[in-house]
Every structure is written in structure tokens, then in C-alpha cells.
Amino acid sequence: MKKIIFLIILFSSIASFSQEQLMLEVDLLLNNNGNGKLRVTNSSGQTLYESYGVVDNYGIILNLTAASFPLTLEWRAGLNAGCTTQSWTYTWSEYFAGKTFTGGCAPEYFYLRSPYINKATVPVGVCETIAGGIYVSYYSTTGNFPWTLIKAPYTTAGIPELGASFRGALHVKSDIDSYYANPKVTMSSKVTTLTIIGCSPELDGQPIPEKTKCKYESSGSATIKFKTDLKDGDKFLFNIFKNGVFDKSIFVTKDQIINKTYIWSGLAEGSYYIKYQAQTTTDNNTLVGSTAITTDPFSIGSPDPLTFTITQLQPNCHNQQGAVTVTASGGTSPYYYMIDSETLAQKHPLTFDAIELSEGDHKVKVVDSNSCTEK
């Protein structure tokens, strides 16, 4: 007994499409005088393809838009196919590049395929897949003739004429043909223009956070280490997110990376993660694209707020001086104090000893080892 076969194959990278022209190959493969039937209808119920096979294979290329979906595929097996299920209906809900759908049972099969070209609206990394599948694809750096064949592994870096140093606009198209049809039907896809950027150096571990010096300051930092150096002619674009919300972007040039390490300073207390990518030094785009690397979340902590208390000690005799004792907590020890107009340069270590003061009003200021004050 022969079983009906349903198979969907997807590329590892899939890009969805908008209302532009989409292409879909339809093939009907029939043998042994089979008379299987395949009908394809669009979202409005309009028949796009319908065929009763008689020996010869039959194929067509459909030009669609996203509005054509969902498609309805209706299959009825031929008399000589020996299928356990004679007919069935399948809904293809959404167009995806690089998808293959096949069904039927020996010796009758049908195939529907969509060509794969990376359709990202954000920049595409030089190491990302730009085209591939069973179709022949071509590229051009001008968008005009001559078009050059793209060979595996279908990345910009894998194209010998371009290499890993290529940056800028790359125009790509694909020939799509009815693979099994006799005779074949062939046509070219629309030209897609991709903006190629560099692929970023990978993280060497996760960011190492350093807490703020004072509770109220933005003096925390995150140390980021990379496995490889930034390429000449590239710079880093960093996007930082604080408490789940985009905070700001910065550019970091190669000379700011020391021993494959960058320290992002000026961070306040909070939860963060960073997205970054490499791009050319002339590219002033401030939002990362599809090649961005995202760090794990990390937290910038802060010390407890500095507080202190003063206890007055009144003199016992008229010829004695008054005194105070000062107790501090929070912040970062050790602690120091200043009396009246004394500056940081004149600070005194704070101990448990009483501090003698002359008669009159006085001001006492306490700082910790980071010169933080009570707020």
C-alpha cells in the first residue's frame, strides 16, 4: 500500500514579503498515464492554476502579491497512483521566500516553490545568506548588466569577486523555472537591492558590570570583550536598552577598542542589554540591523545611600570646648569629614573619637571614599 506524502521545506533564514510582486513555481509531475488533478485558488477564490495531467508534466510560474494569500491547494490523486487518500485540501496561509511544498504519492507528485532572496529591510551582514535554494541567482553592484552568477555558500563574503570586505549596495535577482515541467517555463524575479554591512566581531563572554560610585550618580560601567578585532574602515554602532526601553546610540571607533575591549561608562543604576554591529566609518545609521549581536541582560548596581548622624557633646566647664561625634553608614567606607569651609583636600578621617569644636555654630560635611555626600 502506498502512502500520500506531504512535505514542507524551509531555509534556515526566512524573510516575509509585503504587497510587492511575488513568484511561485507550480509543477505537476505525472507518469504512467496518471490523471491527477491540482487546483490552486487565491484568497478571493479565483483559480490561478488547474490541471488534469495526462502523461506529460505541466508547470507554470505564478506572479502573486501578499493579498493573494492564503492560497488553497486542492489535490486529487490519479487512478494509477494507488494513494490511500484520494483527495485533500491544504491552505498555504502566508508567502515565505525559500519554501518548498510537495505532495502526492508515487508515481504522481506536485511541487510548489518560492525562490529565496534575502528581503530584509534593514542592512544585511556580509556573512548572511543573500540568495540560495535550487534556483540560479545573480548579483550586480550597479543594478545593471553584467549580472554575475552567485555560487554557494550564497553569502556576500562567499562571492570571490566581492569578498568579506565588500560594503554598500548589492543588487540580487533569481531565475525561477518550472523544475519538472516539460517544456520548462523560466522567468527572472524582480531585482532586490540589499545594503551590505560588516558582520560584527563576536562577544568574548558577556558584559562585566561595575556599579556606580554614588547612589545618585551615572558612574557605572560595562566592560565588553570581543573575540576578534574590528576591521579597518569599520566602526561599532552600539544601541543600549535600559529597563527594556531603547536608551541611546553611540559610535565607537577602532582606536577606542583596547585589547579587544571596550568600557561603556556613564551608566546609571538599572537593568541593561546592548545590541551592536560593525559598519563602515562613513555609515551614520544609528539603528542596528539584522546582523546585530545582542548581549545578555546585565544590571548596574549602586551602593546604599550615604547617611550620617551627629551627636552634640556639651562642655562641662566654661573653659572646655564643645564636641560632636559623627556616625556614618551606607556609601563606600572609609568615611571623612570636613568642618565649616574646609575643602575635600582638607578632609579628616572619620573615627569614633569626639571632634572638638569652638563655641558657636558649625557645619559638618561627611563624604565616603568616592567623595559621595548625603542627599
83: DSSP letter: B
pLDDT band at 5 (very low <50, low <70, confident <90, very high): very low
> In 147-196, where does DSSP find H-type helix?
none
Contacts for 107 with CB less than 8 Å, ≥ 6 apart? 30, 31, 32, 34, 80, 81
Distance between CA atoms of residues 147 and 161, nearest Å: 12
CB 94 within 8 A of CB 150: no
Per-residue pLDDT band at 2 (split at 50, 70, 90): very low
d(C-alpha 140, C-alpha 124), whole Å = 16
Q: Is the pTM of this model over 0.75?
A: no
Q: What is the structure's pLDDT at 314?
A: 80
pLDDT in tens, 122-137: 677 777 778 766 677 8
| 11 pLDDT tier (thresholds 50, 70, 90) | very low
The three cell numbers locating residue 210: 561595575
Encode pLDDT of 250-279 as tens digits: 999 999 999 999 999 999 999 999 999 988
Pairing, β 208-210 against β 220-225: antiparallel
Contact yes or no for 120/130 (Cβ under 8 A): no
- Helix or strand or coil: residue 317? coil
The per-residue pLDDT for range 286-307, each reduced to its tens digit, is 888 766 899 999 999 999 999 9
Alpha-carbon distance of 140 to 148, in angstroms, equals 6
Q: How many CB atoms lie within 10 A of CB 120?
A: 18
Residue 82 — very low, low, confident or very high, per pLDDT cuts 50/70/90? low
3-state SS, residue 66: helix
For residues 75 and 36, what is the distance between their CA atoms, to the nearest angstrom? 7
- What is the C-alpha separation between 68 and 20, in angstroms, rounded? 11
Residues 193-205, mean pLDDT to the nearest whole number: 85
The residues pairing with 24 across neighbouring beta strands, listed in sequence order, are: 62
Torsion of CA 79, 80, 85, 90, to 10 degrees: -80
**CA terminus-to-terminus distance, the chain:** 83
